[in-house]
Amino acid sequence: MTLRGRLTSAFLVVVLGPVLLGSIFVALTVGAVSRERTTERLDHAASTVSMAVGAICRQLQASADAVAVVPAGDRKAVADQLVARGLATEINVTDPDQPNLGRAATTGDPVANGRQDCANPATGVKDQVTALAAAAYSREVTVIAAQQVDAALLDRLGTAAGVAVAIGAGPPPAAGTAGRELSAEPGRPLPLTLTVPAGEPRARYLILLLIVLVTAVVAVLAARWLARSTTRPLGDLAWAADRVANGDLDTRVPIPRPDELGRLAGTFNRMTRELQSYVQALTASRDQLRRHLAILGDTLSSTHDLDRILPVILRTAMTATGARAGLILLTDPTDGRLAARCGAGLTGAWDLSPAELSQRRLSPGRGLLGRVAATGMPLRGTAGRAPDEPACDSYLAVPICAPPDEDSGPEPAVLGVLALYDRLGGPVFEDADLRTLRTFAGQAGVAVHNVRVHEEAQRLSLTDPLTGLWNYRYLREVLRREVERASRFGRMLTVLVLDLDHFKEVNDTYGHTAGDQVLGEFARRIRIGLREVDVAFRQGGEEFVVLLPETDAYGGVIVAERLGAAVRDWPVPVDPRRPGLDDRIPISVSIGIAVFPEHGATAQEVLDAADEALYAAKNAGRDTYRLAERVSPAGAEGHLDAATATTGGPHPPRHGRGR
């Protein structure tokens, strides 16, 4: 059953139930009242008739007494006078001394000829009574006064009592009438039957039924109207809710009346408007987040530069959570401290430029950010900030962890901390913000890990595994970059090409293991003898290259002398392959020196000039250095002494160089 049907049924039950019960009660009450009124009428009629018959009997007795007490000669006149006055219909006197009174009866029996004695009625006599009689006695004289009982007398009795009067037991009362029998008794000698029309409530019942029918019709119409007026707004609400559930947020419900359903419809319309605004805001936020994620994806896939990746991750995380400010710190592998890499929206002492911000360091285990880095557990709240951390009203900090792998164990290494401050639109950061920030921290961890893996792979691809120096591949790139920088700023660049003397004999005599030890030790001594800005490379075999930025020929000679002495003065300790061999191998190095732009206008020309100078040092007896020939147009002579003068003449080909 529909809601409208249920409401209609409920209304009809509520309205018609009391109406029907009231109608039944009224019908029963009307019947009872009618019967009670009929009974009252019969009681009143019986009293009235009894009193009337008693009065007739008393009147007859008085008439008889009046005749009996007068002298015999006056009795006839008195009797006639009483009859004439209507006090009796006849008076009979029985007197033995006057047998011829004219009104004398043949017998003195009061009930003779159908008369009923008022004083001593015969109970067995019914409708044969024709007169009422009363007797009076004086010596031997009997006077009987009689009142004829005819239809006129009965009509007068019925009129006085308001009933129909009949002598004796009449027929059963007809339909619509009620009756009562009065037996004969002294003072009321007539056996009478009283009938009265019963108060028939049929008209009342018809009126009551008509009222019930009209009430039922009105109730049905009212119930239908009420159910329709109640369920129609609910149907509109259900229809609108279905439309909204299908995505049509422009749906509105009409407000028919300012009642509860009208307020409900207004609330529904306001809810849909707010929901529409929320959906629009969420759509805009989703689109913005998608753009940021696209930028983040493009950044992660197109570069391994953390200075570009981390700001994109931070801005995207701030946009996704509605944070006012944010900070990313990474653990410095050298000292284990947290180094600030990027920040946004920071105030106070942390409102710094990127270069200044990169100088900020935090110790692990100290403060909120330090605890997050030390424990690997996220923290959020509104208080407890360390004095040297950014000021805020609320914070949320999560660890940046490396992606798990087989070597990292169950707990991945913590690479840094991603922290957000002051959530806009709310007093604190929520669980959803924590989950979101964990996602971005995971992306940051993947990015940092990938960059470090990439850097390590790049270092390994550009590093000689035996000596730890940069390899020949990286030499080409660095030499080209340094030549361009020196040319741009008008600086000088010195290139040294070093070659160990007689290294083949070392391998043949001591073995390749000892040769590797010699190369490793030689590389170590090169690193010791250089500045931080100088770069050393292993070009191949026992040949090495050193770049000396912002260094002229004189400075190159000094470095060459220092490196030659460091190699020459300390033989390399090795484990001899055969007994009898010395456990220390004396080595020396030949060095060729070339300077940009004096000995070449390009990186390759400078490298070739240094290589040619190395040939000259080899030809000069090894364990020495030579400066390349000047190729500048001026062709001026160098100011160096004979020991460092450039060599002249043709050089043997590269493959003829002695080792």
Average pLDDT of the residues in 523-532: 90
Percent of the residues in the chain that have a pLDDT greater than 70, as a whole number:
83
pLDDT recorded at residue 3: 61
Q: Kindly report, residue by residue over 557-599, the tens digit of the pLDDT.
A: 999 999 999 889 888 888 766 666 777 888 899 999 999 999 9
pLDDT level of residue 229 (50, 70, 90 thresholds): confident
Q: Which residue has tokens 């753009």? A: 291
Structural domains in the chain, CATH included, are 3-197 (no CATH), 219-302 (1.10.8.500), 304-446 (3.30.450.40), 463-656 (3.30.70.270)
pLDDT at 314 over 50: yes
Q: What is the DSSP string of 189-231?
A: -S-EEEEEE----HHHHHHHHHHHHHHHHHHHHHHHHHHHHHH
Taking CA atoms, 97 is separated from 69, 101, 140, in Å, by: 16, 10, 9
Q: Note the pLDDT of residue 617.
A: 94
User: What is the pTM (predicted TM-score) of this model?
Assistant: 0.46
Q: Return the pLDDT at 406.
A: 53
Cis bond before residue 633 (omega within 30° of 0): no
What confidence tens digit (pLDDT) does each residue in 371-418 have? 888 888 999 888 655 667 888 888 999 999 888 765 555 667 888 999
Written as six digits, the tokens of 145 are 């006064």
Q: What is the pLDDT of residue 640?
A: 36
**618 has a pLDDT exceeding 70:** yes
Q: Residue 318: pLDDT above 70? A: yes
Joined tokens for residue 141 = 């004289």
Q: Residue 357: CB partners within 8 Å, gap ≥ 6?
A: 340, 342, 343, 350
pLDDT of residue 104: 40
pLDDT at 410: 61
Q: Which residues on adjacent β-strands are paired with residue 256?
A: none
Question: Looking at residues 447-475, what average pLDDT do you find?
Answer: 81
- The neighbouring-strand residues paired with 590 are 499
Check: CB of residue 368 under 8 Å from CB of residue 384. Answer: yes
